[in-house]
Amino acid sequence: MNVPNHKLRCLDCSSKQEPSVNDLYCAECGGLFAVEYLNTPDGEMPRLPMDDPSTANSLGEGDTPLVFLEKTGEELGLGSLWAKLEFMAPTGSFKDRGSAILTTIGRDLGVTEFIEDSSGNAGASLSAYAAAAGLKAHVFAPASAASGKLDQIQIFGASLHKVEGPRQAATDAAEDFVKERGLVYMSHNLSPYFSEGMKAASYEIAEVIDDGIDHVVLPVGNGSLLIGMVRGFQELREAGIIERIPKFHGVQAEAVRPVVAALNGEDWSHDDVQPTNASGIAVSKPPRLAEMVEAIKSTGGSGVTVSEESLTEWQARLAASEGIFAEMTSAGAFAGLVKLVDSGVIAHDSNVCVPITGSGLKEPLKK
């Protein structure tokens, strides 16, 4: 079996268990798991939860372009501004990094059919990687999700289950289906393997930018990119490749802001959810909320919310000035960057990187 180099460690009580995609919660305390490696680094970085990375279920994800945004950086008074074009992935979003790892582990552990819930991008991604691995996927998604994302799920051969209501309703329906069918719930939100695939993004940034990055500003929903990238930079520092870890700043829509509220001690709950065009981060009850908050705090970062108007503004601005068509969720990161610069949280002359997590081609254009 291609997964003996790690165990799963509970984030709450630190108890350990063998690799599994079926066990999402600790039997001792009900906490979620993280991947813990058994061996010392052997120079193969980033570390992945498999002995032979060449056997991974890959569609060519990773190594996305890192583009210097000269005009926008100068307008904001930054030393440099870089965009990591994560939408240049096989299915058009950063989720492909996590899907490659999760479906590899699932395949190697004997999974043949699984259930997932998603706002769109993760469902499309896992559907594609399931097809490549010969797995049957059931994807639960909001009926209101962008048609381009729902079409992707279906073209890859997955069974699409559209669910009326907010994003959380899709999760609830998926969990009910798991109980009804007894299938594996390979949730990208709950599985510790999904975020492991995100670590490589940090390595790719460090390889290109010699002077280092001071800040990473990114949209946060369920937090796999945040958690994985922070872990990636931690590995780089532990290996002596970099001297410091950039500060991570999570951006959320004002309409759905559990992470920012938790960071800032604000009174906010699932009942306060409002509609938002930033569908990729419209997650009102992220299961890894505490882990996300700790990841941001460990870097000295912060959280900020942005308005609906700023999403539309920055989507158009990036396209017209930089030639980048980002989905609304990704455009929000730039709106958040402006607020962080204006408030002095990010100083002028800083070096900043913004991952553009999804393509605008997947969504109807809002005007």
- Each residue's pLDDT tens digit in the chain (367 positions)? 455 789 999 999 999 999 999 999 999 999 999 999 997 776 677 899 988 889 999 999 999 999 999 999 999 999 999 999 999 999 999 999 999 999 999 999 999 999 999 989 999 999 999 999 999 999 999 999 999 999 999 999 999 999 999 888 999 999 999 999 999 999 999 999 999 999 999 999 999 998 889 999 999 999 999 999 999 999 999 999 999 999 999 999 999 999 999 999 999 998 899 999 999 999 999 999 999 999 999 999 999 999 999 999 999 999 999 999 999 999 999 999 999 999 999 999 999 999 999 999 998 888 7
Domain check: are 285 and 296 in the same one?
yes
Domain boundary pick from 169, 191, 213: 191
All residues at 6 or more sequence positions from 319 whose CB lies less than 8 Å from its CB, including other chains: 325, 326, 360
Q: State the Cα–Cα distance between residues 256 and 218, nearest whole angstrom.
A: 15
Q: Same domain, yes or no, for 224 and 313?
A: yes
Instruction: Return the CATH number at 305.
Output: 3.40.50.1100
The answer to whether residues 88 and 99 belong to one domain is: no
Statement to judge: residues 227 and 208 lie in one domain: yes
Non-local (6+) Cβ contacts of 88 within 8 A are 64, 65
The tally of domains found in the chain comes to 2
Instruction: Evaluate whether residue 5 is within a structural domain.
Output: no
168 and 232 assigned to the same domain:
no
Contact call for residues 352 and 334 (beta carbons, < 8 A): no
Q: Are strands 6-10 and 33-37 parallel, antiparallel or unpaired?
A: antiparallel
Residue 204 domain-assigned? yes
139 plus 288 within the same structural domain: no
What contacts 125, CB < 8 A, 6 or more positions away? 89, 91, 93, 95, 96, 98, 99
Which pLDDT does position 364 carry in this prediction?
84
Q: Does residue 56 sit within a domain?
A: no
Q: Can you give the pLDDT at residue 1?
A: 47
Residue 60 lies in a domain: no
Rounded Cα distance between 215 and 219, Å, is 13
Where a domain ends, among 130, 159, 191? 191
Domain presence at residue 330: yes
Which of 141, 166, 191 is a domain's end point?
Answer: 191
The reply to whether 150 and 272 lie within a common domain is no
Is 39 inside a domain boundary? no
Domain membership flag for residue 82: yes
pLDDT of residue 52: 87
* C-alpha distances out from residue 362 to 187, 280, 313, Å: 22, 12, 18
Other beta carbons less than 10 A from residue 166's beta carbon? 18
Do 313 and 178 lie in a common domain?
A: no
pLDDT digits (tens, 9 = 90+) for 218-245: 999 999 999 999 999 999 999 999 999 9
Encoding tokens for residue 192? 């510790």
Asked whether residue 187 falls in the same domain as residue 251, the answer is no
Give the pairing type, strands 113-117 and 247-253. unpaired
Q: Could you tell me which residues come within 8 angstroms of residue 77 by beta carbon, excluding any fewer than 6 positions away?
A: 341, 348, 349
Q: 200 in a domain, yes or no?
A: yes
Cβ neighbours of 179 (radius 10 Å): 9
Q: What distance in Å separates the CA atoms of residue 66 and residue 46, rounded to the nearest whole number?
A: 18
- Contact (Cβ atoms closer than 8 angstroms) between residue 185 and residue 20: no
- Residue numbers of the domain that contains 273: 66-93+194-362
Beta bridge mates, 283: none
Q: Are 61 and 90 in contact (CB under 8 A)?
A: yes
The rounded distance, in Å, linking the Cα atoms of 326 and 317 is 10
Closest by CA position to 218, among listed 235, 196, 238, 198 = 198
75, 213: one domain: yes
Over residues 11-37, the pLDDT tens digits come to 999 999 999 999 999 999 999 999 999
- The dihedral through the CA atoms of 120, 123, 126, 127 has a sign that is negative
Which are the contacts of 271, defined by CB distance < 8 A and separation ≥ 6? none
Q: Are residues 186 and 200 in the same domain?
A: no
User: Residues 121, 88: one domain?
Assistant: no
